[in-house]
Amino acid sequence: MKLNLNIEPLSAWLTPKHQPLVIAGPCSAETEDQLLSTARLLADTGKISVLRAGIWKPRTRPGEFEGIGSVGLEWLKKAKAETGLPVTVEVANAKHVEEALAAGVDILWVGARSTVNPFTVQEIADALKGVDIPVMVKNPVNPDLQLWVGALERFNGAGITKLAAISRGFSSFEKSSFRNEPMWEITIQLKSLIPHLPVICDPSHICGNRELIPYISQKALDLEMNGLMIESHIDPSVAWTDAKQQVTPAALSDLIDHLTVRTPEAKNPAISDKLAELRKQIDKLDDQIIQKLAERMKIVEKIGEYKRDNDITILQLNRWDEVLEKRASFAKALNLDEEFTTKLLELIHGESIKKQTAIMNDKTVVE
Ligand code: PEP
Ligand code: MN
C-alpha cells in the first residue's frame, strides 16, 4: 500500500554542498562563541550543507539545561550570515515556530518527543498553515510507525510539502550498544509507504557515543537514506548536552571522507549485466523455496489429519526440539547464521501448528 502525500523532492529545497548530504552542528547552542566557532569550522570543511542547533531542549528531568532559548536564535542568525549555511532548529510548540520563523530559520525539525504526541504535532502544523518552509520529522521515541506517518500527514495536511523524515533510532527495553535501536525495518517500511519521502539518518542519537557513528552513517547510506544529521561541537568533552555523541568539526570532516556513497544502480553496463544475471539466480531460488514450503505444508496437513483421526496432540515438544537441533546444526555447517535459522524454523513451525489446529477444529465437519 502507498500513501498519497504531496511531497516535493529534496532537490526543491536543499542543494547539497557535498556528497553525502550532511546536516551538522551542536546538540545545543550554548554560548555565542561556541556556536559561531563551531559553525565556522564546519563551514570551512566545505562538506556541510545545513547548520543545526538546539535552542529549546526537551530534557527528561527538570533542572537540567533546557536550552538557551530565544537569544540563541540571534547567534544562529549571525552564524548563517557569516557562513552562508542554511540553519535548522527543533520546534516543539507554536511559540517556537513563531520565533524561529521571525529569526529567518530555513528548516524546522520536530523532535522524537514531540512526534509521539498528536496534540503537539497538530499545534505545530496549525502554526505553519500558509507558511512555505521545509519540515523534518524525527521518528517517535517508541517504535510506532503509525505515529511517524501520522505526524507527516498532519504537516502535509497543513500544506507543508517540503517534508523529510529523520531516522534517529527507537527506545528499547533491551540493553544494547546503541542509545536508541536503529530498527531499520521501520524506516524501510516508511519508505515503502511513502517512496518519494526523503529520509535523513541521525547517527548521533542512534549511537549515543562517538565511536559507533561512522558505522551507522555508512549503514544508513547503504540503505539509501538521503543524508545524515550529525552533532558536532567545537569541544565535545565540555558540551552541555549529549557530550558523548558529539564530534569535533575536524573529526566530522574525516568521518565524511571515509564514507562510501554507493548508487542503487551501477554506472558500468557490464556490472549491471552481472547483477541482472545474479538476480535471475536469486529469483529462481526464491521460487524453489516457496515451492518447497508449499510441499512441506501439504505433508504437514497430512500429518494433521492423521493426528486428528488418532487423537494425537498437535505439538510434540520432543520432536520439535529434535527438528530444531538437527536443522540448526546443519545450517551452521553451511555457514548460515544460527539466530536467523532458528527464527526461520520457528516461523515455519508456527505456521504448521496453525494449519494443524485448523484441521483438528474441522473434526466435526469431517466426521
Ligand atoms: C536533538 O536532535 O538534539 C534531539 C533532541 O533529538 P531527538 O528528538 O532525536 O532526541
Ligand atoms: Mn542531542
Structure-block grid coordinates of residue 181: 535501536
Residues in the chain: 367
For ligand 1, is residue 138 a contact (CB within 6 Å)?
yes
**pLDDT greater than 70 at residue 14:** yes
Give ion ligand 2 contacts, CB < 5 A: 27, 242
Q: What is the mean pLDDT of residues 206-226?
A: 97
Q: What is the mean pLDDT of residues 250-262?
A: 97
CA 19 to mean position of chain CA atoms = 19
User: 271-318, pLDDT tens digit by residue?
Assistant: 889 999 999 999 999 999 999 999 999 999 999 999 899 998 888 888
Nearest atom in ligand 1 to the alpha carbon of residue 168 is 9
Q: What is the model's pLDDT at position 155? A: 98
- Best mutation site among 60, 66, 90 for ligand 1 pocket (most ligand atoms within 8 Å of CB): 90
Angle in degrees, CA 35, 132, 223, rounded to 5 = 70
CA of 204 to the centre of ligand 1 (A): 9
For ligand 1, is residue 92 a contact (CB within 6 Å)?
no
Q: What is the mean pLDDT of residues 2-29?
A: 97
The pLDDT confidence band at residue 266, using thresholds 50, 70 and 90, is confident
Ligand 1, atom 3: nearest CA belongs to which residue?
27
Structure-block grid coordinates of residue 10: 529534496
Ligand 1, atom 4: nearest CA belongs to which residue?
111
What type of residue sits at position 115? T
Structure-block grid coordinates of residue 102: 521571525
Alpha helices in the chain (DSSP H): 32-45, 71-83, 94-102, 112-115, 118-127, 145-157, 184-193, 203-207, 213-222, 249-257, 269-309, 317-333, 338-361, 363-366
User: 118-166, pLDDT tens digit by residue?
Assistant: 999 999 999 999 999 999 999 999 999 999 999 999 999 999 999 999 9
**pLDDT greater than 70 at residue 363:** no
Q: Mapping DSSP to helix (H, G, I), strand (E, B) and coil, where does residue 198 land? A: coil
User: 165-198, pLDDT tens digit by residue?
Assistant: 999 999 999 889 999 999 999 999 999 999 999 9
* Exposure b/e, 223-258, CB count within 10 A at least 16 = b: eebbbbbbbbbbebeebbbbeebbbbbebbbebbee
User: 97-122, pLDDT tens digit by residue?
Assistant: 999 999 999 999 999 999 999 999 99
For ligand 1, is residue 52 a contact (CB within 6 Å)?
no
Dihedral angle at the C-alpha atoms of 35, 36, 42, 44, nearest 10 degrees?
180
Q: What is the model's pLDDT at position 362? A: 78
For ligand 1, is residue 54 a contact (CB within 6 Å)?
yes
Distance CA 21, CA 201 (A): 10
For ligand 1, is residue 205 a contact (CB within 6 Å)?
yes
Q: What is the mean pLDDT of residues 317-340?
A: 89
Kindly state the DSSP code that residue 177 receives in the 8-state scheme.
S
Parallel, antiparallel or unpaired: strands 199-201 and 163-167: parallel
User: 21-67, pLDDT tens digit by residue?
Assistant: 999 999 999 999 999 999 999 999 999 999 999 999 999 899 999 99
**pLDDT greater than 90 at residue 361:** no
Question: What residues contact 37, with CB distance under 8 A and at least 6 apart?
Answer: 234
For ligand 1, is residue 24 a contact (CB within 6 Å)?
no
